[in-house]
């Protein structure tokens, strides 16, 4: 059955220089020709752009002055004919053009349907399709670089190579079993099977070793700023964000609620959360903020624990040290421009080897050291986003772990001297898990679920 022609707005809603209405499908060029006053779009060359007006066929009125791009199959994003109408930015103009196109019998695209068609038409595989959304959502240059490398097929090529190695192994075993009379086919031995499975296992382990860094680049780090009231938590957030997002005063307990912001620290995306100061209080509203802060403490990947250099350690500070025990955190000694009243030897003992950074937000000292410490904790100070294949997707990581476990089952069976036809069952399972990453063995329901998470118009 011939695919339907679909349409969607591909630019964010709001005011801007231009907005784009994208159409894809067998009738895209014919429909665009019916509503475009300018060159005959049916006769123009592919991958060209043309000036004219969009006309509403119902009243022959001009809807907008536009530039229309004509892209003919198969060399397009979806492998179908595509029309992109570039109109003036703004909600009214783009919605009017969308309405005119829909009135021509075109269906409104579902979220991610353009990319889904690119996948179903064989232009990209499932991991590359997911990289498209990663590219859109990237919050740092390094995250964008990883997504681009996944989009160009580096991960896909490695997965296909591993799957080929496994399927050749399985096929070799089956030939030996089904056609033992073939003398010209080398017999698959226990040793040969072990060698091949160990090789694939090593490749999967290598991918999983960088998976934590890749996941961080893709999703960011949940980072909570904690400490007693008035130690400089909100000021620290403002310095990292480089905007006055949080209210800064000398009054303890000013921050009553959670303030969130994404920041880029040396390529590390942080989901920064400024919390209410944690202390015992009779104020009902502040107490609610403190409870939320305690929840952030338990949910964060990294904690920035702020102490006041100008005050001695308090019972609240000691309770916080107990609360962060066993978690990933950096101790920040703020207000170092003021006289020191903090017992640093006691702080070092309580920190138990965790990084301690001295900071003066007023004098802008120590911020670089803090950024370096954050990068060091998660990337050992360096991350190579130019790896030949970099895993960042949670779904991919889960499937790689399953593939690794299945292959380890096969390797254990070989160690116990199990027959090769039994061992190959786990090898085949590994092959199937790897196939789900690129979509070769993925179910229709999984594919639909993945693309439903895409933005409309992509």
Question: Does the annotation list 250 as a binding residue?
Answer: yes
Question: Does the annotation list 115 as a binding residue?
Answer: no
Question: Does the annotation list 397 as a binding residue?
Answer: no
Taking a C-beta distance cutoff of 8 angstroms, is the pair 193, 169 a contact? yes
Return the H-helix or E-strand segment holding 292. helix 284-299
Question: Does the annotation list 245 as a binding residue?
Answer: no
Q: How many CA atoms lie within 13 A of 255 on its CB side?
A: 30
Question: Does the annotation list 235 as a binding residue?
Answer: yes
What values do phi and psi take at 387, rounded to 5?
Answer: -55, 150
Question: Does the annotation list 161 as a binding residue?
Answer: no
Question: Does the annotation list 255 as a binding residue?
Answer: yes
Question: Does the annotation list 218 as a binding residue?
Answer: no
Question: Does the annotation list 277 as a binding residue?
Answer: yes
Q: How many CA atoms lie within 13 A of 411 on its CB side?
A: 16
Taking a C-beta distance cutoff of 8 angstroms, is the pair 335, 308 a contact? yes
Question: Does the annotation list 276 as a binding residue?
Answer: yes
Question: Does the annotation list 232 as a binding residue?
Answer: yes
Question: Does the annotation list 74 as a binding residue?
Answer: no
Q: What b/e sequence results for 287-317 when a residue is b if at least 16 CB atoms lie within 10 Å of its CB, and e otherwise?
A: eebbeebeebbeebbbbbbbbbbebebeeeb
Question: Does the annotation list 294 as a binding residue?
Answer: no
Question: Does the annotation list 251 as a binding residue?
Answer: yes
Question: Does the annotation list 293 as a binding residue?
Answer: no
Question: Does the annotation list 123 as a binding residue?
Answer: yes
Question: Does the annotation list 187 as a binding residue?
Answer: no
Question: Does the annotation list 263 as a binding residue?
Answer: no
> Which are the contacts of 449, defined by CB distance < 8 A and separation ≥ 6?
none
Question: Does the annotation list 197 as a binding residue?
Answer: no
Nearest residue to 427 (alpha-carbon basis) of 413, 417, 441, 437: 413
Q: How far apart are CA 337 and CA 231, in angstroms?
A: 13
Residues at the binding site for K(+) are 230, 249, 251, 254
Residues at the binding site for (6S)-5-formyl-5,6,7,8-tetrahydrofolate are 22, 84, 123, 458
Residues at the binding site are 22, 84, 123, 230-235, 249-255, 274-277, 458
Residues at the binding site for GTP are 230-235, 249-255, 274-277
Residues at the binding site for Mg(2+) are 234, 255
């Amino acid at each position: 059955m011939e695919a339907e022609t679909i349409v969607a707005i591909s630019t964010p809603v709001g005011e801007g220089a231009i907005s784009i209405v994208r159409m894809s499908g067998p009738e895209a060029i014919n429909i665009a020709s019916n509503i475009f006053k300018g060159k005959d779009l049916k006769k123009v060359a592919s991958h060209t752009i043309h000036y004219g007006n969009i006309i509403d066929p119902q009243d022959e009125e001009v809807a907008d002055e536009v530039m229309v791009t004509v892209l003919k199959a198969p060399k397009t994003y979806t492998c179908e004919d595509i029309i992109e109408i570039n109109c003036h930015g703004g909600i009214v103009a783009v919605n009017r053009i969308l309405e005119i196109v829909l009135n021509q019998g075109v269906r409104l695209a579902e979220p991610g349907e353009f990319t889904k068609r690119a996948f179903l038409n064989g232009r990209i595989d499932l991991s590359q399709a997911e990289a498209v959304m990663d590219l859109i959502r990237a919050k740092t240059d390094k995250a964008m670089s990883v997504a681009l490398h996944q989009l160009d097929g580096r991960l896909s090529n490695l997965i296909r190579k591993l799957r080929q190695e496994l399927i050749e192994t399985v096929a070799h075993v089956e030939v030996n079993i089904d056609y033992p009379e073939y003398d010209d086919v080398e017999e698959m031995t226990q040793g040969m099977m072990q060698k091949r499975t160990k090789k694939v296992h090593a490749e999967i382990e290598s991918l999983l070793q960088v998976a934590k860094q890749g996941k961080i680049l893709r999703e960011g780090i949940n980072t909570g700023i904690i400490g007693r009231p008035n130690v400089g938590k909100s000021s620290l957030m403002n310095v990292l964000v480089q905007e006055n997002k949080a209210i800064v005063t000398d009054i303890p307990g000013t921050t009553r609620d959670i303030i969130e912001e994404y920041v880029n620290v040396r390529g590390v995306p942080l989901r920064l959360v400024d919390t209410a100061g944690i202390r015992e209080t009779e104020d009902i509203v502040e107490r609610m903020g403190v409870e939320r802060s305690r929840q952030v403490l338990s949910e964060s990947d990294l904690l920035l624990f702020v102490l006041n250099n100008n005050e001695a350690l308090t019972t609240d500070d000691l309770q916080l040290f107990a609360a962060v025990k066993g978690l990933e955190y950096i101790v920040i000694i703020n207000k170092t421009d003021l006289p020191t009243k903090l017992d640093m030897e006691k702080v070092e003992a309580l920190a138990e080897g965790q990084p301690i950074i001295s900071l003066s937000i007023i004098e802008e000292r120590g911020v670089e050291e803090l950024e370096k410490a954050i990068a060091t904790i998660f990337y050992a100070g360096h991350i190579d986003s130019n790896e030949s294949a970099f895993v960042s997707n949670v779904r991919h990581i889960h499937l790689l772990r399953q593939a690794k476990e299945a292959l380890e089952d096969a390797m254990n069976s070989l160690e116990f001297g199990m027959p090769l036809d039994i061992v190959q069952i786990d090898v085949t399972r590994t092959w199937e898990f790897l196939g789900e990453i690129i979509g070769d063995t993925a179910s229709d329901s999984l594919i639909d679920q993945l693309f439903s998470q895409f933005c409309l118009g992509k």
